[in-house]
Amino acid sequence: MVCMGNICRSPTAEGVLRHRLDAAGLGDRIGVDSAGTYGGHAGDAPDPRAQRHAARRGYDLSRQRARQVRPEDFERFGLVLAMDEDNLEALARVRPPGVGDVRLLMTFAARDGLPQEVPDPYYGGPEGFERVLDLVEVACDGLIEHLRREQGNFRG
């Protein structure tokens, strides 16, 4: 999961996906991590607002720490998911040639009418963090279904 600073959207997506994979019985079979295309927050905990809103829905982000995406991430993870087009383009610039599958997270959202990007809530109010959670939850559910289809041996 990748956003710009790795303090709002991508740690939220990491926390939601981990939680939902565990609930589906797949948590020990699929590795999940998050990073940012910008390294200025490296070592920082997720934004307190992101943590607070996530906790209200049962997701614990408190142990996560921001880091910058590295070229080896594309080899380590079969799928690298960006929150928006800007970060998708930034990933394309650091991705080693021919390595990894890079997409927008929202391509896995199964509902019509949803945006293709997860908006950055950093400069907004509480509703932005709730919107991120709403979108990420739908996309993560679709992602889990995709993983089950692609890897027929995953049974939850």
Report d(CA 144, CA 32) in Å as an integer. Answer: 12
Give the pLDDT confidence score for residue 146 in this predicted structure: 94
Q: Which of 8, 9, 47, 84 is catalytic?
A: 9
3 given a catalytic annotation: yes
Q: Which of 3, 18, 73, 140 is catalytic?
A: 3
Report d(CA 34, CA 43) in Å as an integer. Answer: 12
Report d(CA 72, CA 95) in Å as an integer. Answer: 9
**Fold (topology level) of 2-150:** Rossmann fold (3.40.50)
Q: Which of 33, 47, 120, 141 is catalytic?
A: 120
For 95-133, the pLDDT digits (tens) are 999 898 999 999 999 788 999 999 999 999 999 999 999
Q: What is the DSSP-derived secondary structure letter of residue 43?
A: T
pLDDT > 90: what percent of the chain? 90
149 given a catalytic annotation: no
120 given a catalytic annotation: yes
H or E element in which residue 35 lies: strand 35-36
Phi first, then psi: give them for residue 110, nearest 5 degrees.
-95, 0
Confidence of residue 18 (pLDDT cuts 50, 70, 90): very high
Give the pLDDT confidence score for residue 150 in this predicted structure: 83
For 30-48, the pLDDT digits (tens) are 999 999 999 999 999 999 9
pTM: 0.95
Report d(CA 124, CA 41) in Å as an integer. Answer: 19
H or E element in which residue 139 lies: helix 126-150
CA terminus-to-terminus distance, the chain: 22
Confidence of residue 155 (pLDDT cuts 50, 70, 90): very low
| Domain definitions of the chain by residue range | 2-150
Q: What tokens does 122 get? A: 């950093």
Give the pLDDT confidence score for residue 152 in this predicted structure: 67
Phi first, then psi: give them for residue 2, nearest 5 degrees.
-135, 130
